[in-house]
Amino acid sequence: MPIDAMTDTRRELTDLERPALEQAFADDGVPVFHARQVFGWLGRRGAAAFAEMTDLSRDLRTQLDAAYRIATPRIARRDTSVDGTTKFLLELGDGKLIESVFIPDTPAQTFCVSTQVGCAMRCAFCLTGKMGMVRNLTPGEIVGQVRVLARETGLVGQAFNVVLMGMGEPLHNYDATMSALRILGDEHGMALPARRVTLSTVGVLPALERLAGEAYMPNLAISLHATTEDQRDALVPVNRKYGLRDLIEACKRFPVKKRDRITFEYVLLDEVNDTPADARRLVRLLDGIRAKVNLLPLNEAAGIEFARPADDRIDTFARILADKGVIVSVRKSRGRDIRAACGQLLVEGAQRSPAQRLAQRL
């Protein structure tokens, strides 16, 4: 763990939503409008230190630097795929490592960010789940990934999308995830519209029901992957607590704006969940939901026991859905050569936990 992270007693500014930052400044005798200035420097201009905030007086910058720190994930490594996808290995203040991915031209520029170090969901086809759960990320660490990727890709102040599809289950870290989204969406900061954010979840039902009442409402993607209770129990263990039937009913109640749909993500596993019977059951499951289906042929990797279906099986599955009027797409895998594709994020290196080291040997 870096020494400064252990000994720095200053308050972490990046964890604060703007109203909380304004209150903190007021408590310190700093005029509230300076909080909005600082918030704007972080969100709109990608500042990483008070010294960069040149419209603040030097004395104020010194005062703020003595009271607050601006934690920014450090880039430990980056890998760029032949298709332009870039995977960033980021080191946090306590030395823990996470991965974030920049996916260009999708058709917009997209940042895929993590919400946890590791993941507790243990989906059978996902490398991240083999890490186990290390810890939740803070709001500032989630937002920090976006700030770093925007700076490194030259997109500070420009339009991009954010998908919460990296390491971790966003709704398992609900409070920090939603705080981070409010920070990203604040009009005085990055002003990221909710329509440019997608939250992917396996279906942690109490949190999904809370999400339905949020003012800042991201696009919703449900990681489904199965069409029967037994099948999903085996592939997505959280289904044993929050079953498929209850998940589907919660999706039917979820508020969907006009012209919007819930995306159902479905990883296709050869001769496991890719049969015509599975496709027909999926059509029936989604009846009555404004839905679209994103088929994800498995990204094979060492340590995953399943295989990618042949193209004709993928085409047959997709055609059955389309013929029944379901909007369906087959996701083109990005960054497979640098292990940046869906389900392939697995931190390696000196800071690995015992669970991570075990996963590396599998």
Boundary (domain end) residue, out of 47, 69, 91: 69
Q: What is the pLDDT of residue 108?
A: 86
Boundary (domain end) residue, out of 69, 91, 115: 69
On whether both 145 and 267 belong to a single domain, the answer is: yes
- Give the chain's end-to-end CA distance (angstroms, integer): 27
The helix or strand, by DSSP H or E, that contains position 273, with its residue range, turns out to be none
Q: Which residues pair with 50 in a beta bridge?
A: none
HSE-CB of 108 using CA atoms within 13 angstroms:
13
Residue 115 DSSP SS3: coil
pTM, two decimal places: 0.90
Question: Do 117 and 98 form a contact (C-beta atoms < 8 A)?
Answer: yes
Residue 183 Cα distances to 16, 18, 154, 335, angstroms:
8, 7, 20, 29
How would you write the pLDDT of the chain (362 residues) with one tens digit per residue?
444 556 789 999 999 999 999 999 999 999 999 999 999 999 999 999 999 999 999 999 999 999 999 999 999 999 999 989 999 999 999 999 999 999 998 778 999 999 999 999 999 999 888 888 999 999 999 999 999 999 999 999 999 999 999 999 999 999 999 999 999 999 999 999 999 999 999 999 999 999 999 999 999 999 999 999 999 999 999 999 999 999 999 999 999 987 799 999 999 999 999 999 999 999 999 999 999 999 999 988 888 899 999 999 999 999 999 999 999 999 876 655 645 445 444 454 434 433 333 233 22
Q: What is the pLDDT of residue 361?
A: 29
On whether both 157 and 296 belong to a single domain, the answer is: yes
Q: What is the pLDDT of residue 6?
A: 61
Q: What is the pLDDT of residue 179?
A: 98
Q: How far apart are CA 84 and CA 105, in angstroms?
A: 9
On whether both 181 and 198 belong to a single domain, the answer is: yes
The beta strands (E) that lie in 244-298 are given as: 262-268, 291-297
Alpha-carbon 129 to chain mean position: 14
**Cis peptide bond N-terminal to 107, omega within 30:** yes
On whether both 222 and 281 belong to a single domain, the answer is: yes
On whether both 136 and 19 belong to a single domain, the answer is: no
On whether both 62 and 22 belong to a single domain, the answer is: yes
**Is residue 291 situated within a structural domain?**
yes
Question: Do 87 and 99 form a contact (C-beta atoms < 8 A)?
Answer: yes
Residues with catalytic function: 99, 342
Residue 302 Cα distances to 67, 75, 237, 361, angstroms:
47, 26, 21, 9
Residue found by looking up tokens 């917009």 in the block? 108
**Is residue 86 situated within a structural domain?**
yes
On whether both 24 and 125 belong to a single domain, the answer is: no
Q: How far apart are CA 343 and CA 306, in angstroms?
A: 12
On whether both 100 and 63 belong to a single domain, the answer is: no
Q: How far apart are CA 362 and CA 237, in angstroms?
A: 20
Q: How far apart are CA 115 and CA 219, in angstroms?
A: 16
Question: Do 278 and 227 form a contact (C-beta atoms < 8 A)?
Answer: yes
**Is residue 2 situated within a structural domain?**
no
On whether both 188 and 44 belong to a single domain, the answer is: no
b/e code 328-349 from CB counts within 10 Å (16+ = b): bebbebbbbebbbbbbbbbbbe
Per-residue HEC secondary structure of 54-90 comes to CCCCHHHHHHHHHHEECCCCEEEEEEECCCCCEEEEE
Which residues lie closer than 8 Å to 287 by C-beta, 6 or more apart? none
**Is residue 351 situated within a structural domain?**
yes
> What's at 291, amino acid-wise?
A
Give CA angle at 164 (76, 235), nearest 5°: 105
On whether both 32 and 113 belong to a single domain, the answer is: no
**Is residue 5 situated within a structural domain?**
no
Q: How far apart are CA 216 and CA 281, in angstroms?
A: 33
Give CA angle at 202 (125, 96), nearest 5°: 70
Please report, for the domain that includes residue 311, its CATH number: 3.20.20.70
Q: How far apart are CA 261 and CA 121, in angstroms?
A: 25
Q: What is the pLDDT of residue 230?
A: 98
* Residue span of the structural domain in which 32 resides: 10-69
Please report, for the domain that includes residue 28, its CATH number: 1.10.150.530
- Going by C-alpha positions, the residue among 147, 8, 179 that lies closest to residue 72 is 147
**Is residue 151 situated within a structural domain?**
yes
Boundary (domain end) residue, out of 69, 98, 116: 69
Radius of gyration of the chain from its Cα atoms, rounded to whole angstroms? 21
**Is residue 259 situated within a structural domain?**
yes
On whether both 61 and 192 belong to a single domain, the answer is: no
On whether both 301 and 229 belong to a single domain, the answer is: yes
Number of domains in the chain: 2
Alpha-carbon 83 to chain mean position: 21
**Is residue 4 situated within a structural domain?**
no
Q: What is the pLDDT of residue 107?
A: 78
